[in-house]
Chains A and B, each alone.
Chain A
Amino acid sequence: MDTFDSTALLLARLQFSWTIAVHIIFPSFTIGLASYLVVLEGLWLKTGKQVYIRLFKYWIKIFAVVFAMGVVSGIIMSYEFGTNWSVFSDKTGPILGPLLAYEVLSAFFLEAGFLGIMLFGLTKVGKKLHFTATLMVAIGTFFSAFWILSANSWMQTPAGYGINDVGQFVPEDWLKIIFNPSFPYRLLHMVTAAYLTTAFVVGGVGAWHLLHDKTCEGAKLMFSMAMWMAAIVAPMQIFIGDMHGLNTIEHQPAKITAMEGHFETQKGAPLILFGIPDMDAEETKYAIEIPKLGSLILTHHPDGEVMGLKAFSKEDRPNSLIVFWAFRIMVGLGTLMALMGLYSVWLRWRKKLYMVPLFHKIAVVMAPSGFFAVIAGWIVTEVGRQPYTVYGLLRTNQSVSPVEVPAVATSLAIFIVVYFIVFGFGIYYILRMMAAPPTPGQPPIASEHPIGLDSVLSALADKKEH
């Protein structure tokens, strides 16, 4: 394609970002929640304790709603490549197509096939088979993450391919394609993120009910399990993220420079904590820096050389303003999560985990933090690999379909409206289910009202528990 309409391109990009950013919220919750349900049902089978099956039944209803939203927002993805990114589809189909086909064959069918039994079958198939169904759904969510992240990683760090005479990427070595250089890091980072996201939702709901009733058995259990996750997995995630970053330096240096807000290549580079990267002026304004720390983090040496955006020609640079700030949001939230996890260990040791309302209030506020961190992380990696769809090989502006502006504009507008309506309702229903206590307790609270901003604010302002 030698000509393209830049408005159509922009709209197609906006549409893709919108549909995928909304979609990613649901799987990042269901991947973790499916595993959590396996743990709950497994503990119930092992111990026979009622509280486990109560929590299982509590979360499975929420799971069903989230899963349905994940399914309907996901179908679009297998068609949107073609409608809006047809040139990309034609060129990468021989490689990405089979990866997606494996995802459908090994993951989607497994989830969908056993979901019915998981949701409706407990009285029909018996406990053990039902547990197997729950396990299969959880394994399905993991397989799904495996294949889709392999496909995404291949676009970031392509390997094992050749190019044929009509310009298509063709497979030469499937193992190299699947296990491309950034895939192991991205998979680990994303699955861990999904677990953390779920842990903070579960912990937040537990904390919410602890604020109303400190003796609520289900709430205590949820909160305790979630805080173990936070204490162990959040610090791990920081370590995994660092490894992922080192891998990115090697394969996508421009992305790192955009994350750091560095324009000049320099030795002993500072760490820019905050600032406003200005792509036109080619500098990061109002920068607050710590000398040499940038080099220390990126090269693990205080005087190591760190590349700047100016090392890349202007049309090859990702937008640093977006990447820089998205990265800080992600890292900031991740750090808060780890701190909460560590503090929970301290409280637990002092036997005060269920006694400190302030900590519970923080947990309520942090409940959605995983979703923000996940979306911020995806912005870092996806905006950071621009201007390419297949890194270094196929430009975004050469990937787009020959569709007309009104077609993309109209579908984008409808997507925005429909998603706000449909998923707005869905989230409202989920918050309403979360407002019901997981196990009966004292005093009973009305569950018809969902957890909303007003009720959160009034709980935060509630001083009587201090």
Chain B
Amino acid sequence: MRLVGSSELPAEVRSWIGQVRYEEETSFEIERGYIFTTCASVENGNPLFWDDEVARELTGGPIAPPSMLSVWFRPHHWTPAGREQRMPYQIHFDLKEALGLPEAVMTHNEIAFGAPVRPGDRLRARQSLASVSELKRTKLGSGRFWVLEVEYRNQRGELVAQESITGFGYRRDA
């Protein structure tokens, strides 16, 4: 691994900017078990997620909490075919590798929500890289900020969400 200087953003990484780099589909249908588990984890008693009558009245049937969007794209930890290598926000991990930055955190995340996600849906996501900063020094270490954009659609082609994520990849200062 190497730490690149501010003027040395590799051509390979520059070529990723503005391009759709990954398209992926959820590997299982949206299901209510995770909806209940997520609501339980934060003690969310919103009847929209627990009471089918309320869901029928307000949203025409059960939906998932909008904030669960990224949950549906995380791969299983293990499958019979082996451990899945795909990662959510894969570009984030590609950048760590390409720029020689072993650690990384997400610093900002913005999501605009569209059509509700419903049990039984299958979603598709298109990831692209919007920008990579110059080399920066923070209290975590030295590295670069980057912005990823993800567009999500359901099996009917409806826009479910648009997301923008800022990450900071870094090497801890000695």
Partners in one complex: no
**Using a CB–CB distance below 8 Å, which chain A residues touch chain B?**
none
Q: Please give the residue numbers on chain B whose beta carbons come within 8 Å of chain A beta carbons, in ascending order.
A: none
